[in-house]
Amino acid sequence: MSDSQERSEQEQEARLLSAAQSGDRAAMERLLSMHQDRIYRTALSYLGGNEEGATEVAQDVLISVARNLAGFRGDSRLTTWLYRMTVNYAKNYLAARQRRTARFVSLDPTAAGDEDAPPVIQAADPRGNTRDRAAASEMQSILQQRIAQLPEDFRTVMILRFVEDQSYEEIGETLSIPVGTVKSRINRGRAELRRLMADVLPGGESHE
Amino acid sequence: MSNRERFEELLTAEMDGELSPAELLEFEAMLAADPELAAEAAAEREMIAMMAGLRDFKAPPGLVKTAVNAAMPGAIVVPITEVATPKRRLPMALTAAAACVAAVVAVGTYFVEGGRESESPASRMMADSAPESKAKQDALYLETGEKGAVTSMFFDSSGAAGPDPFVGPPSPAAAPSLIPAAPQAISEGDVYRLRQDIADSKQEKVAPARREAKEAEWSMRSLNTAERDASTPALTVDTLQSAETNELAGAAVESQLGISGDLVANQPSGSVGSGGGSSVATSQPDDLPLPDRATVAILMSTVQTELVADTWNPTTALRYMPAAATELADAATLPTHRFAIFRTLQSANADRLANDLNQRFPGAAVDFSDHVLVIYGQTAAVAGGDDGGFVSGSVPGSTGSEFYPGPAPVREIKSLDEVEGVATEYGATLASRRSDALVLTFQSSGEAGEFLTVAERLIGSGATSLWMERIELLTSGGTVTLTIPLQQ
């Protein structure tokens, strides 16, 4: 995106933000529409491709934004606020799912001890990540699952950096951590994800 | 700095787009000299490219509209808008409409025969659930809405009979007041739109519509008069489902209904929603006054919302009739955990429940074949039968955040083969068996209900859980599809 395009978008967003904060319903809809995809895909990556969960998280975030936008003072960028909220909601979603998961046992005896089984969250959500999995590329599905296996600190920065194309500075602002920490986590996250993806990446197993 | 460290540094710089020309040459030379590093770099590049590919994912439709509706609810609007009915066909229109009208008719009959034409089930429940005395509050109420006469049976927790709590003039009810009045008449092609402000909820967290309802799961259309033929009921409701409705059945249960928020129903504390089964298609929906049809449809849709709510464990109203019977077995639990059942039609489960009630309450002589049964108490809950209706209740003072958990497990099913084996006994056909789910089709909801009844006994909610991923009532010639995901 060119600088002029970006500037134009920022100006448009500022106008919409102002109008939405004043109660303009149409402006609110347009503003949220501008951001809903990044909210959704951030949640989707965070939740390991669990589409149902990502939808739920995105819905929660959008509702929260819509309800609290009037109080948004602009101290940080809107996207920063959105990403922060999305990550927090996604964490909460996982926590809630894991609490529920504890009640269940597998019906499938072959699933026991399967190291390649998807993360618990996917098994816990009977609808997530299954319905449209066939439509998504298998590699993307695998990647999403492996991202979800990253330690939380690495997972968030990796998503923001490589999925959302955020700068180190923006990530630092979103997560309230120094840029150096962002870089460090990304480097370690990359290595860890590469290790997790070693079985599917070309030559990925050579080093590990 | 080691070669490895330098490699990482240059690789990072490449990822950041910050390789200088000199560094680029250095990096290329390094990779050319070390195939292992070259392979690693290739893997890294592919991995990052794949992550960038995740940007292609788009949010599902409807999220923004739902969010704005939830955050910026408009004033209550009850217009009859002269909007041409969309010329689109819903595959489930007939079926779902039939299901919808089923309860309408049944409820309408109930209204008319009981001489309370203008009341909704909500008002009845609301009126009757107001605790007039401690004894009544703690009691178990049974009512049979028999045609021509309201036969009442009232039992307290000891099983002693008492006066019919439904007899007498209804007390003021809040629930109907929250539902805008429906028009008295509607013309062909009109679309009747209701919008209910949901901002009045005192709940900190309401249950907004999460996403658009998937037509394959359920759908009802509203006053789709232009499209319908003689065999199609006049009243159906398009709905969006509220994923957390059942979990938030406290002071308020809310759901957003309608295409793009056309209709929002609010189920406040003290209200009850009723749902229709599949077999009411044989009834005459147009016999019911339109306001009643609309009101009931709204309430019913609330229940339908719960029916497909993915957080509702263990899933479906099909299982709740036997669950209700189990609940009744332990009257001691009723003061703190009660539920409502509204039954519209014949169903095997209802007969079973009737038998169960008759056994547990000597002299009850329960026969639900043409009756309405209402059992309610303090806690919001849902119950239902396979071909019958179902009711959601959010009674005053309710604080429950979870619905009826189901009976204790009898034994665990250890393999999918066992599930399959049980299912086939009830006429199920294995549609597909995935690593994560078992998909079964039944030829009728009755068979599906039977299977779930048995499965519930076998599996038990404490050990594992069935999830109803998809319900397709009477679609494709009456096939009901159940998807049973595996839990881990």
Domain count of chain B? 3
Q: Who wins on pLDDT, A51 or B461?
A: A51
pLDDT tens-digit series, residues B54-91: 888 888 877 888 778 767 654 222 221 222 222 222 22
Assigned domain for B352 exists? yes
Indicate whether B348 and B472 sit together in one domain: no
φ and ψ of B182, to 5 deg: -85, 160
Q: What is the pLDDT of residues A73-97, one digit of tens each?
A: 777 788 888 998 898 888 877 876 6
The number of beta carbons lying within 10 Å of the beta carbon of residue B3 is: 11
Distance CA B70, CA B208 (A): 6
pLDDT digits over B208-236, tens only? Answer: 222 222 222 222 222 223 333 333 333 33
B234 and B334 co-located in one domain:
yes
Which 3 state secondary structure label does DSSP give B252?
A: strand
Q: Among A129-138, B94-103, B408-417, which stretch is predicted with the lowest mean pLDDT? A: B94-103
- The secondary element (H helix, E strand) that includes residue B80 is strand B80-81
Pick the residue from chain A with its C-alpha nearest to B39: A203
Residue with tokens 């209402």: B374
Coil, strand or helix: which one is B485? strand
A104 pLDDT higher than 90: no
Residue in chain B closest to A139 (alpha carbons) equals: B50
How close A75 gets to chain B, by Cα (Å)? 22
Are B276 and B300 in contact by the 8 Å Cβ rule? The answer is yes
Q: Is the pLDDT of residue A203 over 90?
A: no
| Nearest Cα to Cα of residue A163 among B14, B59, B52, B56 | B52
Kindly state whether residues B231 and B254 are assigned to the same domain: yes
B399, part of any domain: no
pTM score, whole prediction: 0.42
B411: in domain: no
Place B426 in a pLDDT band, splitting at 50, 70 and 90: low
Average pLDDT, chain B: 41
Interface of B with A in 15-34 (CB under 8 A): 15
Domain contains B405? no
Residue B185 touches partner A, C-beta closer than 8 Å? no
Is the domain of B156 the same as that of B97?
A: yes
Q: How far is A138 from chain B (nearest CA, A)?
A: 11
Residue indicated by tokens 């719960």: B306
Q: Report the C-alpha gap between A190 and B47 in whole angstroms.
A: 9
From the number of C-beta atoms within 10 Å of its C-beta (0-12, 13-18, 19+), residue B442 rates as buried
ipTM of model: 0.79
Phi, psi values for residue B482, rounded to 5°: -115, 130
pLDDT in tens, B311-370: 222 222 222 333 333 333 333 332 222 222 332 222 344 455 455 544 544 443 444 333
CB B98 within 8 Å of CB B278: yes
* Same domain, residue pair B36 and B85: no
Q: Which of A44, A52, A104 sits opposite B487 (nearest CB)?
A: A104
Using the beta-carbon criterion (under 8 Å), do B59 and A37 form an inter-chain contact? yes
Average pLDDT over residues B379-390: 27
Domains annotated for chain A, with CATH where assigned, are: 12-104+117-196 (1.10.1740.10)
* Domain identity same for B361 and B445: no
3-class SS shares of chain A: helix, strand, coil, % to 5: 70, 0, 30
Say if residue B227 is in the same domain as residue B362. Answer: yes
* Confidence bin at A157 (pLDDT 50/70/90): very high
Residue B60 and residue A32: Cβ atoms within 8 Å? no
Across B248-355, the runs of DSSP E, i.e. the strands, are: 252-257, 263-268, 271-275
User: A200 CB near a chain B CB, below 8 Å?
Assistant: no
How far apart CA B284 and CA B298 sit, in angstroms, is 19
Mean residue pLDDT across chain A: 75
Where in the sequence is the domain holding B469, given as residue range(s)? 416-485
Tell me the C-alpha distance between B113 and B116, whole Å.
8
Contact, B121 vs B272, CB < 8 A?
Answer: yes
Instruction: Report the gap between the CA of B264 and the closest CA in chain A (Å).
Output: 16
pLDDT of residue A84: 87
Q: Please identify among residues 190-229 of chain B the ones whose CB lies closer than 8 Å to any CB of chain A.
A: 208, 210-211
Determine the average pLDDT of the residues in A185-199: 89
In a domain, B283, yes or no: yes
State whether residue A72 sits within 8 Å of chain B by CB.
Answer: no
Query: What is the rounded CA–CA span in Å between residue B283 and residue B277?
Result: 12
Q: Which residues of A touch B483 (CB under 8 A)?
A: 126
d(CA B439, CA A133): 16
Whether pLDDT at A11 is above 90: no
Contact between chains at A62 and B63 (C-beta distance less than 8 A)? yes
Which among B44, B414, B467 is the nearest to A190, CB-wise? B44
Q: Is B465 on the interface with A (CB under 8 A)?
A: yes
If asked whether residues B428 and B379 sit together in one domain, one would say no
In a domain, B235, yes or no: yes
- B95 & B21 share domain: no
Q: Which contacts qualify for B329-337: CB closer than 8 Å, 24 or more apart? A: B329/B356, B329/B360, B331/B140, B331/B157, B331/B158, B331/B159, B332/B157, B334/B138, B334/B140, B334/B157, B334/B377, B335/B138, B335/B157, B335/B377, B335/B378, B336/B378, B336/B379, B337/B377, B337/B378, B337/B379, B337/B381, B337/B400, B337/B404
Q: Is B127 domain-assigned?
A: yes
Residues of B in contact with A194 (CB under 8 A): 40, 43-44, 47
What are B452's two structure tokens?
């779930």
A chain contacts of residue B486, beta-carbon cutoff 8 Å: 106-108, 111, 123, 126
Comparing CA positions, the residue from B452, B472, B343, B475 lying closest to residue B406 is B452
Higher local confidence (pLDDT), A100 or A42: A42
Does residue A92 sit at the B interface (CB-CB below 8 Å)? Answer: no
Judgement on whether residues B301 and B258 belong to the same structural domain of the protein: yes
Q: Verify that B21 and B117 share a domain, yes or no.
A: no
CB-CB: which of A109, A120, A194 is closest to B47? A194
Same domain for B84 and B37? Answer: no
Kindly state whether A66 is in contact with chain B, defined as any CB-CB distance less than 8 angstroms: yes
Q: Which residues contact B92 (CB under 8 A, 6 or more apart)?
A: B215, B216, B218, B219, B472, B473, B474, B475
Partner-chain contact B485 A130, CB within 8 Å: yes
Residue B186 main-chain phi, psi, to 5 deg: -150, 145
- 8 Å CB contact between B142 and B358: no
Kindly indicate the confidence band of residue B484, based on its pLDDT and cuts at 50, 70 and 90. low
Chain A residue numbers with beta carbons less than 8 Å from the beta carbon of B199 are: none
- Dihedral of CA atoms B276, B277, B278, B284 in degrees, nearest 10, equals -50
Residue B410 lies in a domain: no
Taking contacts as CB-CB distances below 8 angstroms, the residues of chain B near A185 are none
Contacts of B464 in chain A (CB under 8 A): 104-107
**Minimal C-alpha gap between B408 and chain A (Å):** 13
> Distance (Å, rounded) from C-alpha B471 to C-alpha B439?
11
> φ, ψ for residue B299 (rounded to 5)?
-60, -45
